[in-house]
Amino acid sequence: QSALTQPPSASGSPGQSVTFSCTGTSSDIGGNNYVSWYQQHPGKAPKLMIYEVSKRPSGVPDRFSGSKSGNTASLTVSGLQAEDEADYYCSSYAGARVFGGGTKLTVL
């Protein structure tokens, strides 16, 4: 199975919104609603931010939201804060678990 495709970088100023994309195929993202997103700060373990395309675990701010259209999933971070600067990975199921290559978010 191939990895999901994410842009390598994204940026925004505090208070702005930024959206990351995660592109797959009809065999993964397009074929199920089990897309999840993970936030990873340097030297730390990934943290679940979004599951089942758009659901937030307890404790994740509602500034984080997810969506999907066709073979592409998206994560939007609204009201950017300095602590949102991190790497973000998407994941789905395609007969096996696949991850995207990650997007590094810089808060300007």
Partner 1 sequence: QVQLQESGPGLVKPSQTLSLTCTVSGGSFSSGDYYWSWIRQPPGKGLEWIGYIYHSGRTYYNPSLKSRVTISIDTSKNQFSLRLSSVTAADTAVYYCARLLTIFGVVSMGEFDYWGQGTLVTVSS
- Give me the residues that bind partner 1 (CB under 8 A), please: 1, 3, 32, 34, 36, 38, 44-48, 51-52, 57, 89, 91, 93, 96-102
Residue 2 vs 17, nearer CB to partner 1 = 2
Check if the beta carbon of residue 98 is closer than 8 Å to that of residue 4. yes
Q: How far is the CB of 15 from partner 1 (least distance, A)?
A: 29
Residue 13 vs 58, nearer CB to partner 1 = 58
Tell which residue, 21, 36, 18, has the closest CA to residue 98.
36
Measure the CA–CA gap between 19 and 36, rounded to whole angstroms.
15
Residue in the block written with tokens 């495709």: 5
Q: How far is the CB of 30 from partner 1 (least distance, A)?
A: 14
